[in-house]
Structure 1
Amino acid sequence: MSDKSLNLGKGPILPLLLKMSGPSIATVLVVNLYNLIDAFWLARLSPNALAALTISIPIQLILSGIGVGTGLGAGSYAARMFGAEENRKARQTAGQVFFLSAVLGALFIGMVLAGPELILRFFGATEEILPLSRQYLLTSLPGVPFLFLIMMTGNLLRAEGRPHLVMYSALLYAAVGSILDPFLIFGWGLFPKLGIRGAAVAAVISQIACGLLAFYYLQQGSSKYKLKWHHLRPDYRIIRSIYQTGFPSIIINLVVSLGMLMHNHILGGYSDLAVATLGIVSRMNGLVMMTLYGIGHGLMPLVAYNEGAKLYSRLLATVKVAVKISFGIALLSLLIVEAFSPAFAILFSNNPELQALTVTALRINFLILITAAPSLMWINMFIGLGQGKTAMVLLVGRETLILLPLLWLLPPWFGINGVWMAQPLANAFAFLFILYWAKRQYRIFESLIIDKG
């Protein structure tokens, strides 16, 4: 295995973007395939088990929001420091994510233990599925600090030009969890039958294994970080720099989880099967959306590095290539789902009502991809530039000013289909605003190119 880092400021743009994005895409596809397998086995256990897992999605989004937001801030800062040849600050940044993972993990565990039932009811758990949701949530808690660490270190590895190591970590995470899932859920062989707790135990084991592997990568001699124990000491100046970009990303993801919370509450008013449908749709949609996020994750350090090195022409060309690739993937995925949604529905359940709900929800919800693809690339461009506040305003505005009102207005007119329609319509409206700001940033790049030339 070669640990040679990519040079983010030289070489043809498309191959470099693919080398950066390819492992990121593989990473998120593997992780979401594991999530899909998780949903598959729990749907086989019972529809209520799948509904209970779905209740945890907003909680997982909160964890992801905090972890990914912090990681994006750390990765963006480290990439800019590498671009500016300030390697000492980049190495110190790597040490801070271990401190932050431990502190944030402990805080989250303490909050959940203080009132698990209250939290689950807030996120939409009905009395019927509350016991199952509680089992899953409490069993999964030991893995939280490691989950934070995985998300944060992934961005650091991309920032130093080693995205393939993120992919190897994800493969380990998904392989361990996917293999253990059926054995621990159904009690195959010598394993105990743990039901929904088995899915949580499998997740915790895979998170610990992946977190230890990430630590190994960062302290290798071939790593630009060359992590040492003294790098782990808290440095509040660097932490502040991390959150100047990362905090807006956290707010973005927390607001997204609010949208998921609203979905859970509204669909819970229809039936637990409707909540289970959301679990299937979100995981199917996640396979494609996370692919787009993978391209964005590959784009972000390229933007940050080239901005730090003042290579504005290369930066602009890289963003435009990413937009074209992501849109092509989104369009192809939409056509496949529109054609084969009945087959996907049958794969998950033999319940006719759940199948019918899933087919309709998939066909409506996947329309979001057409406008989501370019929007995500531009948002990652802003994050790479250290303009987290711009990204926050654009995406938080989408959730609070457009999505939430649509979730309130559409169901009385269109029933449950109104719930599925809200996301694609909100994204279409938000796309217009994101497009305006992206074009504005393009003009800034063009003026800098002229001045430099």
Structure 2
Amino acid sequence: MTDKALNLGKGPILPLLLKMSGPSIATVLVVNLYSLIDAFWLARLSPNALAALTIIFPIQLILGGVGVGTGLGAGSYAARMFGAGENRKARQTAGQVFFLSAVLGTLFIGAVLTGPEHILRFLGATTEIIPLSRQYLLTLLPGVPFLFLIMMTSNLLRAEGRPHLVMYSALLFSAVSCILDPFLIFGWGPFPRLEIRGAAAAAVISQIAGALLAAYYLQQKSSKYKLKWHYLRPDYRIIWSIYQTGFPSIIINLAVSLGMLLHNHILGGYSYLAVATLGIVSRVNGLVMIALYGIGHGLMPMVAYSEGANLRSRLKETVKIAVKISFGIALLCLLIVEVFAPAIAALFSDGSELRNLTATALRINILILITAAPSLMWINMFIGLGQGKTAMVLLVGRETLILIPLLWLLPSSFGINGVWMAQPLANALSFLFILYWTKRQFRIFDSQISGEA
């Protein structure tokens, strides 16, 4: 295994983008496979267990929003500092994520323990689902600081040109959880039958393992960060720099969580099977978005490094190549899901009603891919540039000004299918605004390139 870092500012763009994206795609793949397998085993346990897991999903999105948002801010800042030759600031950034993981994890655990039932009811849990959701949520809490650390260090490793190490950490995290899931859920062999608590316990154990491996990579001699103990002391100037980009990313993910919360409430009015369908659709959608997220993860540090090094022509060409590749992949995934939706639905349930609901929902919801591909690349470009506020306005506007009204309006005309239609339609409308802002940014690049000539 080689830990040699890639040079983000030199060489042909396409091969470098593929080298940065390949491990990121693999990382997203294994994480989503873990999520899918988790849903698979809980669906086999009972539809109620799957519905309970789906109720928790907005909380997982919030955790992801805070962790990934902070990590994106740290990764973007570190990559720009490496590009500008400010290596010490980049190294100090690595130390701050340990401090932030501990503080944010402790705050989240304390907030949940103040009233888990009230939180679950707010998320749309019905009386029959609350006990299962509570068991899962409380068992999950000890792993939260470690989950934050995994999310944050992943972006730091990409920022120094070592995305393959993120993949190894994700492989360990997912493998441990996938192996333990059925044993702890159903009590296979010498393991106790913990049911839904077993799924949460498997997640906690895997999070600890993944976090320890990621921390090991950061303190290796081959790492650019050269992590030292005094870098772990809080440096509020660097934390401020992290959240100039990271905080808008957190707000984006919180807005996505709000959309998921509304989905839960609206679908809960139909049946618990509708909520279970949402859980399946969300995980399948995450699986087919793998390549898009992976390319976006590879693109962001390349943009940040080029911005720090004033390589505007290279930056612009990198974004264009990423858009072309992602759109081709999105079109292929769309066709596959449209054709095989009934077969995919059959993997999760023997019941005809849940299968039919899921197949229809998949075919409607997957239309989001057409506009999601270029939108994701452009949003990652803005994050890489340190323009987190721009990304926030564009995406939060989609969730609050477009998606929420559609979620209330469409079901009155199209029934439950209107719920599945809301996301693709909202994404299509927001695409127009993101396209406009991207063209504006490209004109700025062109003027900067002309001034350098």
Q: TM-score, normalised by structure 2?
A: 1.00
Q: Provide, for residues 2-36 of structure 1, a one-character-per-residue CA deviation record: whole Å limited to 9, x for no partner.
A: 00000000011000000001111110110000000
The aligned residue for residue 14 of structure 2 is 14
Could you tell me which runs of 5 or more consecutive residues in structure 1 were left unpaired when the two chains were aligned. none
Per the alignment, residue 429 of structure 1 pairs with 429
Q: Deviations over 1:267-318 (max 9, x none)?
A: 0000000000000000000012243121111100000000100111100000
TM-superposition CA deviations, 1:395-426 (whole Å, max 9, x none): 00000000000000000110000000000000
1:184 lines up with 2:177 in the alignment: no
Identify the residue that residue 210 of structure 1 maps to in structure 2. Answer: 210
Tell me what 1:279 maps to. Answer: 279
Q: Secondary structure at the residue paired with 2:224?
A: coil
Q: Report the counterpart of residue 266 of structure 2 in structure 1.
A: 266
Report the equivalent of 2:111.
Answer: 111
Secondary structure class of the residue paired with 2:8: coil
Aligned residue for 1:58?
58
Number of the residue aligned with 1:442: 442
Partner of residue 339, structure 1:
339
User: What letter matches 2:45 in structure 1?
Assistant: L
Distance 2:328 2:154 in 1: 26
> What amino acid is the match of 1:407?
L
Q: What's the CA shift for 1:447? A: 1.5
Partner of residue 146, structure 1: 146
Asked whether 1:301 is paired with 2:301, we answer yes
State the match for 1:399 in structure 2: 399
Amino acid in structure 1 at the alignment position of 2:107: L
Tell me if 1:254 matches 2:254. Answer: yes
Deviation at 1:216, TM superposition (A): 0.3
**Pairwise CA distance, 1:73:** 0.3
2:79 is aligned to 79
Name the structure 2 match of 1:46: 46
CA distance in structure 2 between the aligned counterparts of 1:102 and 1:399, rounded to whole angstroms: 30
- For the residue of structure 2 that corresponds to 1:191, the secondary structure is coil
Q: Which amino acid aligns with 1:325?
A: I
Residue-by-residue CA offset, 1:91-111 (whole Å, 9 max, x unaligned): 000000000000000000000
TM (norm. structure 1) is: 1.00
What residue is the counterpart of 1:194 in the other structure? Answer: 194
Helix, strand or coil at the partner of 1:161: coil
Which amino acid is the alignment partner of residue 227 of structure 2? L
Q: Matches of 1:296 and 1:325 in 2, distance apart?
A: 11
Following TM superposition, by how much is the alpha carbon of 1:443 offset from its aligned partner in structure 2, in angstroms?
A: 1.1
Which SS does the other structure have where 2:63 is aligned? Answer: helix
Distance 2:123 2:374 in 1: 30
1:270-419 to 2 correspondence within 5 Å? 270-419=270-419
Q: Distance in 2 between matches of 1:185 and 1:331?
A: 37
| Separation (CA, whole Å) in 2 of partners of 1:56 and 1:176 | 21
Q: How high is the sequence identity, in percent, across the aligned residues?
A: 85
Letter in structure 2 aligned against 1:31: V
